[in-house]
Amino acid sequence: MSYPVRAQSLWEAIRHELVPRKLFPSLITSSVVAMMTMILSVSFVALIFVDPINQLAGEGTRLMLMTAVILGIFMAIFSSYSGTIAIPQDRVAPIVALMATLIIHQMRGESPEKIGMTVLAAMATSTLLVGGVLFFLGAYKLGNIVRFAPYPVIGGFLAGSGWLLLTGSFRVVSGEPFSLVSLEKMIASGAILTWLPCAIFGAVAYLAVRFTRHYLTLPSLVFLAGLIFYTWLAAGHHTFFDARQHGWILGAPPDTASKQIRILPSLLSADWSIVFSQYTSLVALLLTSIISILLNTSALELAADEEIDLNRELRAAGMANMVSGFSGGMIGFQSLSLSSLPLGMGVRSRLVGLVSAGACLFLLWYGTSLLGYIPKFILGGILFYNGLSFLTEWVFDAYFRLIREDYYLVILILVTVALAGYLEGVGAGIIIATVLFVLKYSSVNVISNVLSGDNQHSTVDRSPLESRLLDNQGGRIHILRLKGFIFFGSANNLLNTIRARQSDPSLPRLAYVIMDFQHVSGLDTSGLVSMSKLSRLAVKADFIILAASVPVDIQNSFRNGGLLKEGPGQVRIFRDRDHSIEWCENEILKSELPAGSSETRSLPQILTDFHPWKVDTSQLLSCMEHLMVDKNHYLILQGELANELFFIESGRVKVMVELDNGRTMRVRTMGAGTVVGEIGLYLNQQRLASVVTEEPCSIYRLSGEALHQMEQNNPALASAFHEFMVRVLAERVTQQNRTLRALVE
């Protein structure tokens, strides 16, 4: 959609909201969203801009508000969901604060001005990086790859962010990083009392929001806490100067205009070697942003009962962050809590995002000094509230909804973040999740079914003698239907299964191993090594390996691994499982049939092999027409009305089904001593398939009229004929039942 069309659609959407019954709820919701955006922005500033760069808190506040303005406008125009609210994010704020702390530590001895400019440059760089990657993912429709992130690792990310937000509230109030040493000092000096109001406010806010779930709960608590603070301040005859001196409120600079934001000086005077050394933090910010957008968008889809285009959300967030990055702002994207807030009032309007962005722009343009009067315990309490929300969701609530090993992984990541650091926790989580995935996938059996030649025959219908022989010797054929990805774990299970079959003395000697690759997605080098071991086992144990429905890439791997070369241990490739079974059956019949048994036999002899009739079979021949037909002759044509059946005395025919796309598919192959066309004749229906000769054949044709005359003139012969047909059909059903039972088991 082009920009003019998008702008026109936006105007049309807003115009429908400019009626009193819709406008008033939208404005009320916008006011709440704007207030929460401002308070969250200031709390993030207090978390990031600490001593010795706290003199840049005012500039940081303006950058946060500018980020909120840019995000609000871009999401209102480009988001796929009309109620999307995007703000500077609590999920990345603790990582940005961690990056600022690392920069301060690395630049000890430098001037606060240079350190502050470097922090601003690093913040702008991270925003540009995240914006560019988000836009790339959305533009090339790669958003769905994010869904492959392990869920417990995502939970660990968020739990770790919750811990950093919780401890960040301590830093906002005390000015020192949270540690056991600093905590002991505060307790010993009594300074801990300055942090208790922050923790109490955060805990009360969390409990109130959790149990009331009303959109006005948190704003009301903020207003009430501020009222109580200033009432206490007035009762104690304290001035604003006293409150600022004691650190009870922010030491905000005098009101300044937005034109004094110094992003260009920060780029020129920053220490870029220090900025680039924060690559691990930049990667953590990127991963957290991508995963958070996925989580927020997925959760918002459920809350709003509306499908949201993830790729479009990534593009919108990407564009907004790139513009924000060039302006020096912090990373921001869709907020689940603020986007869900309008749903409580039944509001789904792009007007909410635009109005709240306008409120932030108004404050940015006319000065931000009023934000300096927000009590610190409220700012710290908001961080405490957000951190407690994450921790409760992923430590307490997750205990009841996650399986135990996933839950323990979340806790492990959280503990690692608390003891070693955020990046270490994220890295440990990814490594452990990968190891657990490999172990779990290795335990998944790559073999979906184990069959043998005595419970799965090919689709070739054979003479009674051949069928009985294959029933007796079919156990020498071992058939494995494979699935999934074959790698070192699953390939080893496959090899062990074949070894166990080969060494089992209670079963017939193994002669053929058929592996069906139809549902195999791939094979790695370790799997290829296991196949080479199987080839050597085949040479030692004297059996043949057949591979059916093998994808081209796996065939190439076999070829490169020397498995397709002529000679012992060769892997023979077949089009499908049916053709591989047919090849094995033919080999068994060649080696097991008596000499001369493959010669052409008359129909009376074939019928006698099947069942010793009590009637003269020559009488049956007199009712039938004998045909000698060449190769590729159509005995039956699909769609025609059935009025005959055929006995194959010698030769071979195939049953073909014509598909809708014009292609044909082989269903069965019929050899000497078999019957074809009986179903259509008995049911008097149209032919469902065509029957074509594969070689010159000797065939006997029995028409429906001849069968009717036989029933009238020779009931004993007709009865024997029907008994013969029942036995033919019963054997087919029996074989199908064996195959189905083997597949189910």
- Give how far the C-alpha of residue 474 lies from the chain's centroid of Cα atoms, to the nearest Å: 42
Tell me the sheet residues that pair with 512: 477, 544
Q: What is the DSSP pairing of strand 697-703 with strand 625-629?
A: antiparallel
Q: What is the DSSP string of 116-185?
A: HHHHHHHHHHHHHHHHHHHHHHHHTT-GGGGGGS-HHHHHHHHHHHHHHHHHHHHHHHHSS---HHHHHH
- Longest C-alpha distance within the chain, in Å? 126
Kind and range of the H or E run holding 388: helix 376-391
- pLDDT at site 503: 92
Residue type, 68: A
Lowest mean pLDDT among 159-173, 179-193, 564-578: 179-193
Predicted confidence band at 317 (pLDDT cuts at 50, 70, 90)? Answer: very high
pLDDT at 720 over 60: yes
For 272-336, strand residue ranges (E) read 332-334
More confidently predicted of 365 and 447: 447
In whole angstroms, give the CA distance from residue 268 to residue 603. Answer: 99
Q: Long-range contacts of range 227-231, CB-CB < 8 Å, 24 or more positions apart?
A: 229/375, 229/377, 229/378
In whole angstroms, give the CA distance from residue 608 to residue 618. Answer: 12
Tell me the sheet residues that pair with 481: 449, 516
pLDDT at 178 over 50: yes
In whole angstroms, give the CA distance from residue 183 to residue 682. Answer: 92
Kind and range of the H or E run holding 67: helix 57-78
- pLDDT at site 258: 41
Lowest mean pLDDT among 100-104, 261-265, 291-295, 694-698: 261-265
Helices (H), 542-685: 552-560, 577-592, 603-610, 617-622, 678-683
In whole angstroms, give the CA distance from residue 230 to residue 214. Answer: 26
For residues 146 and 133, the answer to whether their CB atoms sit within 8 Å is no
Q: What is the DSSP pairing of strand 571-574 with strand 664-670?
A: unpaired
Q: Which of 471, 538, 543, 472 is nearest to 511 (CA)?
A: 543
pLDDT at 522 over 50: yes
Helix axis angle, 279-304 to 310-326, nearest 10°: 140
Q: What is the DSSP pairing of strand 653-658 with strand 332-334?
A: unpaired
Mean of the pLDDT values across residues 663-673? 81
Residues in the chain: 745
In whole angstroms, give the CA distance from residue 323 to residue 78. Answer: 14
What phi, psi does 625 have (nearest 5°)? -105, 125
Predicted confidence band at 2 (pLDDT cuts at 50, 70, 90)? Answer: very low
- pLDDT at site 302: 57
Cβ-proximal residues to 356 (8 Å cutoff; 6+ apart), any chain: 30, 31, 33, 34, 37, 68, 72, 85
- Cβ neighbours of 22 (radius 10 Å): 16
In whole angstroms, give the CA distance from residue 202 to residue 549. Answer: 62
- Separation in Å, CA 81 to CA 15, 35, 517, 617: 17, 22, 44, 80
Burial class of residue 505, CB neighbours in 10 A (0-12, 13-18, 19+): exposed
**How far apart, in Å, do the first and last CA atoms of the chain sit?**
54
Domains of the chain: 3-256+264-437 (no CATH), 447-592 (3.30.750.24), 603-744 (2.60.120.10)
Residue appearing with tokens 């009626």: 19
Question: Does the pTM of the predicted model rise above 0.75?
Answer: no
Residue appearing with tokens 């006319």: 366
Tokens, residue 732 = 């087919």
- Separation in Å, CA 659 to CA 235, 656, 664, 667: 90, 10, 6, 12
Tokens, residue 744 = 């189910």
Lowest mean pLDDT among 283-292, 322-331, 590-599, 671-680: 590-599
Tokens, residue 701 = 């044709």
Tokens, residue 109 = 């001895």
In whole angstroms, give the CA distance from residue 422 to residue 407. Answer: 18
Give the pLDDT confidence of 366-413 residue by residue, as tens digits: 766 677 777 888 877 887 887 888 888 889 988 998 888 889 888 988
Give the pLDDT confidence of 19-43 residue by residue, as tens digits: 555 666 677 778 778 877 888 888 8
In whole angstroms, give the CA distance from residue 644 to residue 675. Answer: 11
Look up residue 711 and give its DSSP letter. Answer: H
In whole angstroms, give the CA distance from residue 241 to residue 662. Answer: 88
- pLDDT at site 476: 93
The sheet carrying 697-703 orders its strands as 625-629, 697-703, 644-650, 674-676
pLDDT at 734 over 50: yes
Residue appearing with tokens 């990534």: 314
- pLDDT at site 4: 46
- pLDDT at site 68: 92
For residues 493 and 527, the answer to whether their CB atoms sit within 8 Å is no
Lowest mean pLDDT among 114-123, 249-258, 593-602: 249-258
Cα dihedral 116, 120, 125, 128, rounded to 10, equals 180
pLDDT at 315 over 90: yes
pLDDT at 255 over 50: no
Q: Which of 170, 139, 471, 479 is nearest to 315 (CA)?
A: 139
